[in-house]
Structure 1
Amino acid sequence: MSDVTASLPLMLKHLRLGSIKDHWQPLAAKAVTEHWRPEQYLSELCALELASREDKRLQRYLKDATLPPGKQLGSFNFDAVTGVTKPHISQLINQPDWVKRGDNLLLFGASGIGKTHLASSIGYGLIEAGIRVKFVAATALVQSLQRAKEALRLSDALARLDKYAVLIIDDLGYVRKTEQESTVLFELIAHRYERHSLIITSNQDFEHWDKLFEDTIMTVAAIDRLVHHATILQCTGESYRRKASLKKQTT
């Protein structure tokens, strides 16, 4: 290494250009061999750095999203469920304008038919498109928000969730009907209304949501905000858990 380039690795390290630091020497040798112009060499280095940063960002998003492992679109059996199709789900992933508008996606159906898998599949796809997603069980989310409210920090807790363009709330039907939980759930829905998207899975149709909220007026107001800009998918089919259990009993 010449005196001119001796300090280059240190400078690249301080500039946090890790990929360029790792590749500038072998790429320089290739540039000399293939008679690249200086701008081509610089362009190749920049492309490597950008690709590395994008990959690291994707890994950060995936880790932060806490999506259930293995529940990608390719492993979902659409033949076992009616009311939803692979082209429709793919469209929601590949054309995410609905996320930019803060629209919602609501998945209804009995337990065990794959609603969580579908929601997770969309989450994985959106992350690949550079969209921040967070997956959380409804009961855990509501309990966390309730603790924040008791500590007079609910506004802060809701604001922290704003960094996620899409919040996936799984199994909303299992939230207990108490005044405290109803209130924080409504405040979350109202806070994200027309700003950030919600994907909600529930085994309870709207007509049964009076079991989730203490107040009928609050129930109507929550539903009104959710469906105002929403895609609603009603999934039907036989529980895969039940089918797996029956198959196990017969073997």
Structure 2
Amino acid sequence: MDNFTASLPLMLKQLKLSTMLQQWNTLGKKAIEEQWSPQQYLSELCHIELATRDDKRLQRLLKDAKLPVGKHLSSFDFTLVDGVSKPLVADLINQPDWLKYGGNILLFGASGLGKTHIASSIGYGLIEQGHKVKFVAASAIVQQLQQAKRHLRLQDELVKLDKYSLLIVDDVGYVRKTEQETSVLFELIAHRYERHSMIITSNKSFEQWDELFDDSTMTVAAIDRLVHHATIIHCEGESYRRKTALNKSK
């Protein structure tokens, strides 16, 4: 082994090209056997390095997002729910321009109609394109923000969430109507308005949001910000979960 070849692993390690470090020798033998040009060999090494990095980044995004397992677009049966279609959801995934101006998606419907599944499928689709997504139950994010507010660091907590292009807040309808909870929920909505996107699922329509917010003025202000740049989906029908279970049993 000549000096150049001997120093190659060290240089690759210093450049943090870990996949190249693992593959250069094996791929080099293949290149000699198949008579590749130097350019082809280097191109293949770079391709493997980039593909590995993309895969690792995808895994990091998925781990950070904490999306419900298995709730992908391909596994949702749109024939069981009215008011939403696969082309509509696919367009929201494949044409994510709405993320650029902080557009929102609002999913309404009774419990069991698959709102969480639809929201999660959009999240998975956007992560595959490299967008940062975070899924969180409404009750959990409210508690998190309440705690931050008590320690006088609510703004810091809201800024931390800015790194996510999309924040999925699931089951807003189950937030308790107290001044402390609804005020931080409003702060979250106001903070992300026209800056970063949200998907909100709720079993309560806007007409019922007075049951969520302690103050009617706050209710109107929250709704106004959410709907300004929004795709609104009303899921209707019998329970998606129950229908799915019945189909499986058959």
Both structures adopt the same fold (TM-score exceeding 0.5)? yes
| Structure-1 separation of matches of 2:241 and 2:198 | 26
1:149-168 aligned at under 5 Å gives the runs: 149-168=149-168
Q: 1:74-128 CA deviation, whole Å, 9 max, x = no partner? A: 1111011000000111111111111122100000000001000000011111100
Which 4+ runs in 1 deviate beyond 6 A? Answer: 244-248
**d(CA) in 2 for partners of 1:113, 1:214:** 27
| Residues 57-85 of structure 1: per-residue CA shift (max 9 Å, x gap) | 00000000000001111111101100000
For 1:58-73, list aligned pairs within 5 A.
58-73=58-73
Q: What's the counterpart of residue 89 of structure 2?
A: 89
Partner residue, 2:117: 117
Equivalent residue number for residue 25 of structure 1: 25
Q: Runs of 5+ in structure 1 lacking a partner? A: none
* Alignment of structure 1 residues 1-251 onto 2, 5 Å: 1-243=1-243
Give the AA of the match of 1:232.
Answer: I
Report the alpha carbon displacement of residue 54 of structure 1 after superposing the two structures with TM.
0.4
The answer (yes or no) to whether the contact 2:80–2:243 under 8 Å persists in 1 is no
> Residue type matched to 1:139 in 2?
S
Q: 3-state DSSP class of the match of 1:233?
A: strand
Structure 2 length-normalised TM: 0.95
RMSD of aligned residue pairs (Cα, Å):
1.9
Larger mean Cα displacement after TM superposition, 102-111 or 4-13: 4-13
Quote the Cα distance in structure 2 between the aligned partners of 1:246 and 1:2.
Answer: 68
Q: Structure 1 residue 10: deviation in Å? A: 2.5
1:165-212, Cα deviation, whole Å (9 max, x unpaired): 000000000001111111110110011000100000000000110111
Secondary structure at the residue paired with 2:54?
A: helix
- Distance in 2 (CA, whole Å) between partners of 1:137 and 1:42 is 47
SS in 1 for 2:88: helix
Distance (Å, rounded) in 2 between the aligned partners of 1:180 and 1:105: 25
Gaps of 5+ in 2: none
Matched residue SS, 1:82: coil
The separation in 2 between residues aligned to 1:30 and 1:51, in whole angstroms, is 19
For 2:108 and 2:31, the matched residues in 1 are separated by 57
AA partner of residue 162 (structure 1): D
Superposed displacement of residue 16, structure 1: 1.3
Q: Is the 8 A contact 2:114 2:241 kept in 1?
A: no
Deviation of the 1:242 alpha carbon? 4.4
CA distance in 2, matches of 1:34, 1:67: 44
Deviation at 1:245, TM superposition (A): 7.8
Distance in 1, Cα, partners of 2:119 & 2:177: 24
Q: Which segment drifts farther, 122-131 or 25-34?
A: 25-34
Residues 247 and 123 of structure 1, relative CA distance in 2, 3 Å threshold: closer
- In structure 1, give the amino acid aligned to 2:32: V
Change (3 A) 1:29 1:153: same
**Match for 1:14: what amino acid?**
Q
